[in-house]
Structure 1
Amino acid sequence: MTRPRAASERFVAQLPTRVRSRVQVIYSPILEIKPLPVQVNDTDVRGLIFTSANAVNAAASMGVDRALPAYCVGPATTGTAKGAGWQAQMVGQTAEELVAALLQARPDSPLLHLRGEHTRGSVAERLTESGLTVRELPVYQQRLLPLTSEAEAAAFEKAPVIAPIFSPRTARHFADIWHGTAPLMLAAISAATAEPLYSLGYERLKIAKEPTPKKMRKAIKKLVKHALRVEGDEATD
């Protein structure tokens, strides 16, 4: 699992029991999330935009006004925002869908997009260019990490390694740091995330049908089934 530890544990806990019982889970976060030492000025803001749960958590720790409406990407971010006390609504599965939905709805502005240092989609810029005033502020940083020693060891074993990848940036980093010889099976949350992975010598690459945890779990389930079949074939050779 390449996500930060808490997010990885939540993802694994939601896998079917049958899947969890058939794999050894190795936690090797290749991205570390840390809040930035910034202050959020929300005095004239009419709403918030969240494109990640990490931004929600950072905003909550900074005491950002919970009375503001929150426009979110995806069910995970929306659920995190609701759990933190915002009246959150999901306005798309992707940044593209969020931009289109907000341009159609035209909510009161200015809006404030709270995000990480590294982001895709140019949400604030595109919305502002289309007449909806949106400011943006990075509230957390994403520091890249190497594989753990346990993950490095697994990379050179004979057993297949299944790696779920959840963002284009972590995909690029994983492609840079993976040098293993184990059969590699990859699950990418989107086509953009899959793109950097094509340079790897993988055995199988599945792209989630939608960029959601639910569809990623389905992709993992299929990869586990394939890995078990591969191992079974080798055992009967």
Structure 2
Amino acid sequence: MSAPDDPPVLLLTRPAEASRRFAAALGAGLPAGVRVIVSPLLEIEAVGGHITPEQSVILTSQNAVARLASGAGLSAWCVGPRTAAAAERAGLEVRAVAPTAEALLAQIVAAGETGPLLHLRGDKLAFPLAERLNQAGIETHEQVVYRQRPQPLTPEAGAVLTTTDRVVVPLFSPESARHFLAESQGASARLEIVAISEAVARICSDAGMKAVSIAASPDGEAMTSAVLRQLATPMPG
């Protein structure tokens, strides 16, 4: 049995490349002795071929940018700085960057946009952005260009959940939260969830998770700070 002051385990469940970037962002801030395990719970899979839209696009994930055949001559409304940076690299003109889909909705409406717009998205929808824009009188279509395929925990991740170790788990979406909860049923480890939003936290709390904290804002920088804070907080014995 681990002692209360033993270094925790950090379990990263985003797709492999995103998990590596997040681990790099934590960098030197990681407390000594923290063991990092990468176990992607969702794999990104393209849907259909590359596309060439004829109208301005809405990009709520950088995964959608990769499905564009070309961004030349297109403008984009983006969620998150990484998505915006990917859009610019693809040749798109970025009209605005918002931290969340809800905030982007407000920006598009405030800008007086009339459309048509095309939301390139994944198969899982956390916020009905196209629907809300249409309700606001802005013609908006949507197209699923990638899907998220659930993956089982790796043997290493599964094994650590059978211990009594502290395991800090950042969760970045409702879908990953639901899948982690399914994969971690019966875990004996002392799980500490760091949620990117109240919606993610609510899913975990409703499932009986006791140690759930929420990032100050729904973005990578706030999640980095929240995870480092959680890792540095001793757990009562």
TM-score normalised by structure 2 residue count: 0.88
Tell me the distance in 2 between the aligned counterparts of 1:136 and 1:74. Answer: 19
Contact 2:46 2:147 in 1 (8 A): yes
Letter in 1 for 2:23: V
> Structure 1 or 2: larger strand share?
2
Mapping of residues 79-228 of structure 1, within 5 Å: 79-107=85-113, 109-179=115-185, 180-200=187-207, 202=209, 204-226=211-233
Contact 1:32 1:144 in 2 (8 A): yes
Q: 1:116 to 1:168 in 2, by over 3 A?
A: same
Could you list the per-position Cα deviations for residues 145-187 of structure 1 after superposition, in whole angstroms to 9, with x for gaps in the alignment? 1111100001112321111100011111111111311111111
User: By how many angstroms is 1:48 displaced?
Assistant: 0.9
> Structure 1 or 2: larger helix share?
1
Contact 2:29 2:228 in 1 (8 A): no
Q: RMSD across aligned C-alpha pairs, in angstroms?
A: 1.8
Structure-1 residue corresponding to 2:61 = 52
1:6 maps to 2:17:
yes
Tell me the distance in 2 between the aligned counterparts of 1:39 and 1:221. Answer: 38
User: By how many angstroms is 1:97 displaced?
Assistant: 0.9
Contact 2:64 2:146 in 1 (8 A): yes
Letter in 2 for 1:65: G
Tell me the distance in 2 between the aligned counterparts of 1:123 and 1:201. Answer: 30
Tell me the distance in 1 between the aligned counterparts of 2:51 and 2:37. Answer: 37
Tell me the distance in 2 between the aligned counterparts of 1:200 and 1:24. Answer: 26
Secondary structure of 2:212's aligned partner: strand
User: By how many angstroms is 1:118 displaced?
Assistant: 1.0
Q: 2:80 aligns with which of 62, 66, 74?
A: 74
Tell me the distance in 1 between the aligned counterparts of 2:206 and 2:97. Answer: 33
Contact 2:81 2:97 in 1 (8 A): no
TM-score normalised by structure 1 residue count: 0.88
Could you list the per-position Cα deviations for residues 17-68 of structure 1 after superposition, in whole angstroms to 9, with x for gaps in the alignment? 131643111110100101111453523x1x1100111111222xxx133321
| RCO comparison, higher one (Cα < 8 Å, 6+) | 2
Unpaired stretches in structure 2, ≥5 consecutive residues: 1-11
Tell me the distance in 1 between the aligned counterparts of 2:81 and 2:161. Answer: 32
Unpaired stretches in structure 1, ≥5 consecutive residues: none
Contact 2:31 2:231 in 1 (8 A): no
Contact 2:84 2:94 in 1 (8 A): yes
